[in-house]
Amino acid sequence: MTDNHDSPKDTQEEVTPGMEMSPITNTSESLKGMQITEDPHPDFLTADADLTTDLPDDTEVIDLIHLKITSLEALNLYRFKKLTALCLRQNLIESITEVEVLPYDTFIDLDLYDNRIKHISSNVNKLVHLKNLDLSFNKIKNIKNIDKLYELENLYFVQNKISKIENLSTLKKLKNLELGGNRIQALEPHAFDGLENLQELWLGKNAIPKLINLNPLKNLKILSIQANRLKKIEGLEELTNLEELYVSNNFLTKIEGLENNKKLTMLDITSNRITKIENVSHLTELTDLWCSFNQVDQSFQSLGEELGGLTKFETIYLEGNPIQLNNETAYRRKLMLSLGPSLQKIDATFIRG
């Protein structure tokens, strides 16, 4: 494949066979006998159709990344009867209707990250054995035409224009759902119905004001809802298998609502308005507490009373809180004395070899 998309030339020159160029021939004379052909696509790479020409028909995986591909049709994907995975990241694809020619029986992985897709074609529903679908960084507004993907395990819609979580209830095998960077303003009733096997839910950078309607997610292990509009930790009572909770960059003022989340190992409440570390002493599996850039201003003794009994606790971040800013000299030493022998790291710095 010839990569000429960065060339400043808009034409290509073909020298007539057998023609000799004299070193002293002037420019006008040298052009005689040459055929100058206009390049119809000076800003594009080799034609899309050429990208798959040399691939054997029994190819199982195709990766064509950042090649300015505009058309699925031109790739002649119907040829590849044993295809299992197709990665077309960072191209210029707008329509995905052509996925209907992919082999339904073998195809399991479709990656269309960073294209120009606005609409999920109904033909996507024909890929009944699909396990991984990545449509992140596109222009999609509605979740639809994926309800028959019963084998789907990983679904990525990061950085689109989605405002509502819907049409997912039939995806019983879904384990990972990523919806960060969209326009979601509420977790609506029934949004997560049928997703009892979901293990990871990523909702950062939306506009969600309240944690509600999460009860169906009995097996959820990771919940990330950073950079939203939360004012309270709530609605997690049924999430008894939750292991990691990320709620940084919200408007939280208190640590609460974690009574039933006894499997938590990670709690990230960075950049909120928390004034006290509290209501976590029952979290016996907790290893990490990230609480930088809040308003924590309590005695080291009370901090020790809350965290000192957690035998698996290893890492704490309190940088940018009054408890650190007002005690810069003795801060690390007092934390070490207060938090017990399991502590290994304070604000990204290890304290023991």
**3 state SS of 68:** coil
Residue where a domain stops, chosen among 229, 263, 298: 229
Identity of residue 40: P
Q: Is residue 5 part of a domain?
A: no
Q: Is the same domain home to 126 and 59? A: yes
Same domain, 87 and 214: yes
Is 170 found in the same domain as 130? yes
Domain identity same for 150 and 292: no
Q: Mean pLDDT throughout 31-57?
A: 66
Domain count along the chain: 2
pLDDT at 142 over 70: yes
What is the pLDDT of the chain when averaged over all its residues? 90
CATH classification at residue 63 = 3.80.10.10
**Percent of the chain predicted with pLDDT > 70:** 86
Q: Which two tokens stand for residue 28?
A: 């006008």
Kindly state whether residue 235 falls inside one of the protein's structural domains.
no
Whether pLDDT at 209 is above 80:
yes
pLDDT at 22 over 60: no
Q: How far is CA 185 from the centre of its chain?
A: 19
Per-residue pLDDT, averaged over 92-109, amounts to 97
Q: Which domain holds residue 101?
A: 49-229
pLDDT tens readout for residues 261-270 = 999 999 999 9
Instruction: Tell whether 199 is covered by a domain.
Output: yes
DSSP 188-221: -TTTTTT-TT--EEE--SS------S-TT-TT--
- Would you say 209 and 187 are in contact if contact means Cβ atoms under 8 Å apart? no
More confident residue, 40 or 257: 257
Same domain, 91 and 182: yes
Whether 216 maps to a domain, the answer reads: yes
Q: Give the model confidence (pLDDT) of 41-52 as tens digits.
A: 444 445 788 999
Whether residue 216 sits in one domain with residue 122: yes
Indicate if 281 and 135 belong to the same structural domain. Answer: no
318 and 263 in a single domain? The answer is yes
Query: Global pTM?
Result: 0.86
